[in-house]
Structure 1
């Protein structure tokens, strides 16, 4: 089914902001606790590994996006470079994995912003509100994301400054770096990697970026570099202020760091920042999933009515309405703690396909050495191996469901 093209309204600054807003999200307020539980001070090594994997994946994505600047991201790249089935596996992994992430981000927002007992209703309201923002145009998405990024970075700057005041003169960060072993470090890398995964949002919105061959690669690299700096600063402040055990035992380590420093006045600011970060991540997820769903529907890999583009606002409105409904149901009905590993499985599959697709690009299209794509693909498989078994099994089952659906759809077309 054919559908109208989306409008190119995003410049370099808009694309960078959307990428940063997607990466510096709720993960910075929550991901360090399980990472510390897995590796202690070794989470610093895990963070470096996660950043390296993210860099490899980001450069593969940027190299592909410069050649295929349309909605869909790796779904499109897989189809064009490797074949329809590769593209479908990447797109399906992204859509189902990130749909679970949407519900998780909504619940994180509600945990910080809602009164006790009202978390799920508030989470549903957040989903519907941000879906409405996306519905009325991508420039509104970029404008709201810009405001959210400012609030989040301000809150994190205050938190890091507070943590710095309670650090000992000589930080014992080198102690216990290997206490969690290689597996613990890799598990922490797997947990922290997904905090960086927001750069895919820039590529999936490639049909709405001006001068995409230049804008997308630059925006991806700049946004990733900014996120790495922010996460490194927060990690050092947390470990220096609370210690690895303190971080591992905290449900809200950034807020606890502020309180432990004696800056009680800043705790509400951090809470607002956490809520805003969750909204920023959710906003970017909704936009990215909608565009990938649009691309899959255009090719017949999802129902054709999802390919509709609003005649005035030039957004995939059917896809975004369907997403809002599904996420709202998940928020109300499902405990998503166990779905985190499932979401991670889907995203790693997505980036594995991206690296394989970029590896096969001809010399004229190359921007980065093939070694980076090899490292990225192997690292995706290694990080999958660190995920909880239940999450891997769930991911395989849902992936199989998608394969069956497409097999039937192809035969009936």
Structure 2
């Protein structure tokens, strides 16, 4: 009998990493943004996506280089440890809570979309039961092995992306001419739109958490991030271009604009197809979160920052079973209660801090990678972009993040006391 505790194996390739990143970024936003952006920026709105993507590369490129230098699972918890054990715990904890709140928020959006078919699902016990079933189902899908989880994610990705791509291309062909972009907006208007569009890209970092289960992470992770951003930008651009082509003067449902796009293209059948795409998009986003985020507490448990219970690996399926179950319970409780969904507003602010710390951690990475003057310059620019984006957050978001940070301090102190050491 082998008494050696099982360890997570490297089973995630480039395709799986791209899907984790893509589904982390593409969730509810693609189904909510088109009408808002079209109302504010008209025919110029599609061009916001490639423009902001170019600016976002100032963050994404140095970020991807930094994550390549840390081949372990844990994501932000790993990068923060370059500045000390406590910094690693705190950064990982902020990321963990922010993603759990995002899971809860998107789960409630999923219920809202289902409610367009069957209004009763939004009521009381039925709503809570569906949220519990969805959360438990995603947990089980991730418990039975990362390869099975990635196959499900591949199916959800196709159900999400293909209807959107086909609808966008059909709209551009059938509803020509495509409107000219016109004059760009004023700088103040562009800044507001830039922040909104930048928010649509966050989540691409989903793939870095299971780095310890990724094949050749030093090359796979940067390539996957860049490929994911390219695919995401292209999809956003085409969908927004199709929307302003079909609705040049507005008139679509602001809450579900792409359902109206599908209805105009192919009647009730088109609306139903894009409803399925919306649910698949949200399902893929939730599945991607469930696949990645439990690895944060698993990594913390391995390092002694949380009880070893979190690090336990299920021998048969090679998955961090306890961390997956804990995340399902935590995020599912937030989703069912509904009162904590507002925590999702702090997730982007938390990510800006995470991106900046990750970029700054590169010189402290294992092996002390060589950092050229060019890398320093781009990294500094990326950090400035993060600071600018964080400065757009309101006082409530900062207060929320502060409360979460204090909660992290208390948990770290409890974990330290439990192992009989001084923080």
- Match of 1:169, SS state, is coil
Q: Look up the match of 1:241.
A: 246
How far apart are 1:22 and its partner, in Å? 2.8
CA contact (8 A) 2:35 2:250 kept: no
Name whichever of 14-23 and 87-96 sits farther off: 14-23
Q: 1:331-368 CA distances to partner (integer Å, 9 max, x unpaired)?
A: 11114663331222222222121121136564537797
Provide the rounded CA distance (Å) in 1 between the counterparts of 2:161 and 2:58.
Answer: 25
Provide the rounded CA distance (Å) in 2 between the counterparts of 1:295 and 1:188. 32
Stretch of structure 1 that moved more, 154-163 or 35-44? 35-44
Q: Which residue of 1 aligns with 2:321?
A: 317
**How much does 1:384 deviate?**
1.9
Count of paired positions: 407
Does 1:284 find its partner at 2:288?
Answer: yes
Which ranges of structure 2 fall in alignment gaps of 5 or more residues? none
Partner of 1:155: 163
Instruction: Quote the RMSD (CA, aligned, Å).
Output: 2.9
* Distance in structure 2 (CA, Å) of the matches to 1:367 and 1:143: 42
Task: Provide the secondary structure at the position in 2 that maps to 1:369.
Answer: helix
Q: Is 1:333 equivalent to 2:337 in the alignment?
A: yes
- State the Cα distance separating 1:15 from its structure 2 match: 2.0
Alignment partner of 1:129 is 2:137? yes
Listed as ranges, the matches of 1:185-224 within 5 Å are 185-194=193-202, 197-198=203-204, 200-224=205-229
C-alpha displacement of 1:39: 5.9
In the TM superposition, 1:6-405 aligns within 5 A as 6-33=8-35, 43-44=45-46, 46-48=48-50, 50-52=52-54, 54-79=56-81, 81-114=82-115, 115-119=118-122, 120=127, 121-165=129-173, 167=175, 169=177, 171-175=179-183, 177-178=185-186, 181-194=189-202, 197-198=203-204, 200-243=205-248, 246=251, 250-261=254-265, 263-335=267-339, 338-358=342-362, 362-364=368-370, 369-405=375-411
Query: Contact (CA 8 Å) 1:340, 1:391: kept in 2 or not?
Result: no
Alpha-carbon separation, structure 2, partners of 1:363 and 1:210: 20
Report the 3-state secondary structure (helix = DSSP H, G, I; strand = E; otherwise coil) of the residue aligned with 2:108. Answer: helix
Gap change, CA 1:193 and 1:227, over 3 Å in 2: closer
Q: Which has the larger radius of gyration?
A: 2
The alignment's TM-score, normalised by the length of structure 1, stands at 0.88
Cα displacement (A) at 1:258? 2.3
Distance, in Å, in 2 between the alignment partners of 1:60 and 1:74 is: 15
The answer to whether the Cα contact below 8 Å between 1:89 and 1:350 also exists between their aligned partners in 2 is no
